[in-house]
Amino acid sequence: MQGLMTVFRKELADNFNSWRFIILFVLAFAVSVFAIYIDAQYIRQEVSETRFVFLQLYTTSGQALPLFILFITFFVPVVGIILGFDAINSERSSGTMSRLLSQPVYRDMVINGKFLAGVVTMAVMLASIVLLVAGMGLRMIGVPPSSEEATRLVVFLVTSIIYGAFWLGLAMLFSIYLQRVATSALASLAIWLLFIFMFAFPFFAQPGQGQLGLVIMRVSPITLFWQVATLLLVPGARTLEQILQSGGLVPSSALPLSQSLISVWPHLISLILLMVVCFAISYIKFMREEIRST
Amino acid sequence: MSELSAQLVVETVDLTKVYDGNKVVDGLNLRVEEGDIFGFLGPNGAGKTTTILMLLGLTEPTSGKASICGYNSTREPLKVKRISGYVPERVGFYEDLTATHNLAYIARLNGLSDEVVSKRVGESLGVVGLADVADNLVGTFSRGMKQRLAIADLLVKTPKVAFLDEPTSGIDPEGVNQMLDLIARVAKENQMTIILSSHQLHHVQRICNRVGILVRGRIVVEGLLDQLGREAFGGGQFKIEVRLGEITSGIVDRIKKIDGVVGVEKSGDLLLINCVKDLRPQIAKAVVDSGSSLVEMKVQSYALEDIYLKYFKEV
């Protein structure tokens, strides 16, 4: 345990001190503020349904695809990838790995500590973005969130951390399998791009391709997360299945929290499963890997 | 060669490692006793690093057993790692952390408390002469400084046994000597057993009391330095070259009878004499007594280098 905490503390300090984190954070914050600003332009026209005024801060942009959700959907993977793409192979190429592993700690402490530090870093980042936006919103509209809205935001936050953890796990997976830092970064980004294209697919699917759209929807982490985020933050949103069946994105009447959670549940489980699979593969590979003389 | 009282620190029994059908380490039997500075010699690719990695429990042997202070390296790697230190060949530090932070990280991984960590780290950096740059980023360090930092890294841990893989590679000659002296001093002051791998003999010769030469995964010779000479050259540690005006069989017989001469070889007008000590006066007397004229006489004692080269040629 003490080994895990040592690795965790060191990696966390590294993350928060690194330029890449500071740049990411500033960028994320700037873009969220921008997204909120755009959304807020519409908020006065849109407030027809008074139950979810506060949530509309995050979701109203006059269109069916709320800007803030889209931004988080596309941006969180980048954070995960940037935090994880060189986790293992940079230690290997700089020669610190064999020194580290010759210390009396279990080998999995190294990978667990790194993963945990990445997750906590992302949690801090996402929580502060959501809170900063909330603070700004409070000033702008002067309406405090209701308890239901707060619950929805918390669930959304937890989901986005899990989503980020999936990408972190994926990036770490590549950093274990690929020797070069640049290759592993590119590989993770390629996967990210691929899923973004897949994300667009259901929206442009021809009627006959609905089945393919459904498959993509169920495996693509980007689509899964977007679905969860939309269902949580736009209480009237419909699932992609419904969209694929009938076409159109126009929200129907709002669902209560319990119903939203029920419709979110399968997607959330898929996301968690993807994250666990990614991390498990990395873990096994890392544990079995032999240190070789070069 | 081994006293019964001396404790065995490193032991391997028929240690074998096969990579892709190649026997990198082939039935290695190695014993290093407490307090030894053992020079692990061999050309590149002889299996030195692989052996060290197996001893540390970082690589699993294909067959055979490796143990340190009685702990099985494969089965009890954590216990082994607690008492052994390792300086890899391309020793790496976190370049964006200071020297102090780098060492403190390793110290904490070894379970030292925070007060002990800062005290030990400070002391260790002082011993290796890096106290002035303790708070500089390791990225700004030269290769030699990083090697010294690696020794400080060992000191923080103060293991019973330390494996140094090519600790002198890539440093300038003056730095090499300082480095070796530092290693010898650290070993003595902390009663560490040192296993030092290298392909450069004169480095090993400077501080090691025992050496083992590893070629293609096998120990071809192992023991104390002077012993090695005798084993390698059929007894004689001194080689005397005598040039005579004329060589008669009488002279050869006479020389052979001298006490301590192991062998006499004739090549042209040269006589090559192997002997256990410097017998020049006796040989000169024998030559003069037999009535021949002595033109030239040279003596050389074997450096480890000759021994080493001899084994390399044989393989």
Domain boundaries, chain A: 2-288
pLDDT tens-place string over residues A228-284: 888 888 777 666 666 655 555 555 567 788 888 888 888 899 999 999 999 999 999
Q: Which of A54-58, A259-263, B147-151, B258-262 has the highest mean pLDDT?
A: B147-151
Biggest alpha carbon–alpha carbon distance for chain A? 68
Q: Do the Cβ atoms of B29 and B68 come closer than 8 Å?
A: no
pLDDT of residue B3: 44
Mutation target vs A (from B18, B25, B44, B58; most A CBs, 10 A cutoff): B58
Q: What φ, ψ does residue A104 adopt, rounded to 5°? A: -75, 65
**pLDDT surpasses 80 at A124:** yes
B242–chain A nearest CA distance, Å: 47
Mean model confidence pLDDT for chain B: 85
Between CA B36 and CA A129 the distance in angstroms is 60
The more confidently predicted of residues B2 and A223 is: A223
| Nearest one of A58, A57, A61 to A69, comparing CA atoms | A58
**Range with the poorest average pLDDT among A113-117, A137-141, B257-261:** A137-141
CB-nearest partner of A6 from B53, B88, B108: B108
Chain A CA closest to residue B61? A290
B185–chain A nearest CA distance, Å: 22
Chain A CA closest to residue B50? A293
pLDDT tens-place string over residues A104-122: 988 899 999 999 999 999 9
Q: Is B90 on the interface with A (CB under 8 A)?
A: yes
- Quote the pTM value: 0.82
B259-291: b (≥16 Cβ within 10 Å) or e: eebbebeeeeeebebbbeeebbeebeebbeeee
What value of ipTM does the predicted structure carry? 0.81
Mutation target vs A (from B76, B109, B146; most A CBs, 10 A cutoff): B109
**pLDDT surpasses 80 at A23:** yes
Q: Which residues, including other chains, have CB under 8 Å from residue B230's CB and lie 6 or more apart?
A: B236, B237, B276
Between CA B109 and CA B276 the distance in angstroms is 52
Between CA B115 and CA B28 the distance in angstroms is 42
Cβ burial of B1 (10 Å; 0-12, 13-18, 19+) is exposed
pLDDT tens-place string over residues B197-224: 988 877 787 788 888 888 888 887 787 7
pLDDT tens-place string over residues B180-194: 999 999 999 998 999
Residue A60, both tokens = 């109203």
The reply to whether residue B56 touches residue A102, judged by beta carbons under 8 angstroms, is yes
Q: Is B74 on the interface with A (CB under 8 A)?
A: no
Residues of A in contact with B87 (CB under 8 A): 99
A122–chain B nearest CA distance, Å: 21
Q: Is B210 on the interface with A (CB under 8 A)?
A: no
Q: How far is CA B269 from CA B240, B246, B265, B275, B280, in A?
A: 14, 7, 11, 19, 18
The reply to whether residue A100 touches residue B56, judged by beta carbons under 8 angstroms, is no
Between CA B16 and CA B36 the distance in angstroms is 24
Q: Is B56 on the interface with A (CB under 8 A)?
A: yes
Q: What φ, ψ does residue B161 adopt, rounded to 5°? A: -135, 140
Mutation target vs A (from B97, B108, B157; most A CBs, 10 A cutoff): B108
Mean model confidence pLDDT for chain A: 83
Q: Is B50 on the interface with A (CB under 8 A)?
A: yes
| Residues linked to residue A9 through DSSP beta bridges, in sequence order | none
**How many C-alpha atoms does A202 have within 13 Å on its Cβ side?**
28
A15–chain B nearest CA distance, Å: 12
**pLDDT surpasses 70 at B114:** yes
CB-nearest partner of A293 from B50, B97, B109: B50
pLDDT of residue B229: 58
pLDDT tens-place string over residues A57-100: 676 654 555 778 888 898 899 999 999 999 999 998 888 988 89
Chain A CA closest to residue B93? A96
